[in-house]
Amino acid sequence: MRLKGKIVLITGASAGIGAATALAFAAEGARLLLAARRAGKLAQVASRALEHGAAAVHSIDLDVRNRHAVQRAIDELPEEWAEIDILVNNAGLSRGLEKLYTGRAEDWEEMIDTNIKGLLYVTRAVVPGMVVRRRGHVVNLGSTAGEMVYPNGAVYCATKAAARTINDGLREDLLGTPVRVTSIEPGMVETDFSLVRFHGDTKKAAKVYKGLTPLTAEDVADAILWAVTRPEHVNVARLSLTSIHQANSLLIHREQ
């Protein structure tokens, strides 16, 4: 149990990659700080994490878009939870799949506020403590979309390109400290991602994965776990992964 007793903060932990990551870390005996907006689903993940071997779980009802709420949540952590060892910036979403000139401003704002500003707010609240304690690892959830834009996804792709830049900049800013920074950049992952993108339209969401085998949330969680368990002198700067049916954001093979 390589991470036994380590305090791990995971945002967006109520479902998908966040929930799978919580269970993966739980199996390593970590102490989990789970944050999300959906308190009911978060409670279910917390219960499963304890069953999977988590040393302890502390849940936080948190919307990362609220800067003051983020800072308050970190500042008000109980003393025994304050020294965060690993931060997994997982909270994020996509809204809409329209041409840029017909997109909804509300969708753009939600993506920008969550995927960029939320990432910044949580990082700003947590990383100073890591620097003072001279230990820590920040894992940012990126996407292959941050490397190559695809039609009708300009704003989402832009937010993930920004996340990649923030990740690389943070790693540069932390040079000279023992704090590590990693970007995990998956391709298509079958979670509620597409359901959220299409505002609950199950038919549209199902078509996204038709004729191919996408990654699973567990695949991504395994990559995160691998990155944080490298020797302390090793920093995995960026890890990109796709299923065998996807080459990049534009090239996808679908079986007939």
Domain chopping of the chain, boundaries: 7-241
For residues 169 and 185, what is the distance between their CA atoms, to the nearest angstrom? 16
For residues 95 and 115, what is the distance between their CA atoms, to the nearest angstrom? 11
Handedness of CA 214, 218, 222, 227 (dihedral sign): positive
Report the chain's mean pLDDT, rounded to a whole number.
96
The β-bridge partners of 177 are 175
Looking at residue 256, its pLDDT comes to 75
Looking at residue 129, its pLDDT comes to 98
The answer to whether 90 and 32 have CB atoms below 8 angstroms apart is no
Catalytic: which of 101, 121, 150, 156? Answer: 156
Is 156 annotated as catalytic? yes
Looking at residue 1, its pLDDT comes to 65
Domain range 7-241, its CATH number among 3.40.309.10, 3.10.20.90, 3.90.1280.20, 3.40.50.720: 3.40.50.720
C-alpha of 8 from chain center:
13
| Residue range 132-153, pLDDT digits in tens | 999 999 999 999 999 999 999 9
Q: How does 21-38 read in b/e, with b if 16+ C-beta sit within 10 Å?
A: bbbbbbbbbbbbbbbbbe
3-state secondary structure of 61: strand
Looking at residue 2, its pLDDT comes to 86
Entry pTM: 0.96
| Residue range 80-124, pLDDT digits in tens | 999 999 999 999 999 999 999 999 999 999 999 999 999 999 999
Average pLDDT, stretch 25-54? Answer: 97
Looking at residue 72, its pLDDT comes to 98
Ranges 83-87, 205-209, 222-226, 245-249: which has the least confidence: 205-209
Sheet holding 31-36, edge to edge: 56-61, 31-36, 7-11, 86-89, 137-141, 180-186, 238-241
Q: How does 40-57 read in b/e, with b if 16+ C-beta sit within 10 Å?
A: eebbebbeebeebebbeb
